[in-house]
Amino acid sequence: EGTRRQVNHWRSGFYHIAVGAGVPIFPVYFHYPEKRIGLLPLFYPTGDMQADLNALQQMYEPWRGRHGKPVAPAAADAAAKPAPEADAGSADRA
């Protein structure tokens, strides 16, 4: 999930989308020091967001972005938020 501003934790939208759609997450890394892009193994979310994000962070441990600082998984308060419904608001449009 991309963002145009610096953040100190992962955004969690990609996780909620994968869980809601019942699909795996396909992690991609950009290793800036070697100018390398790579694919990591598919990750199947369990529904335990904090544990899954911690596991994903471990998968990314060897790789560094341009500024070299790893970013923490989503904050615990963000993990407590329920996933948005796929068709939220569609009843209002009917």
Residue 54 vs residue 10, higher pLDDT: 54
User: Which one-letter amino acid corresponds to residue 20?
Assistant: G
Report d(CA 93, CA 34) in Å as an integer.
50
Q: Could you give the 3-state DSSP secondary structure of residue 20?
A: helix
Per domain, the residue ranges of the chain are 13-82
The Cα–Cα gap between 73 and 94 comes to 38
Which residue do the tokens 């396909």 mark? 26
Amino acid at 47: G
User: Percent of the chain at pLDDT above 70?
Assistant: 66
The answer to whether residues 40 and 28 touch, using CB atoms and an 8 Å cutoff, is yes
Each residue's pLDDT tens digit, 26-80: 998 888 888 999 999 999 999 999 999 999 989 988 888 777 666 566 654 444 5
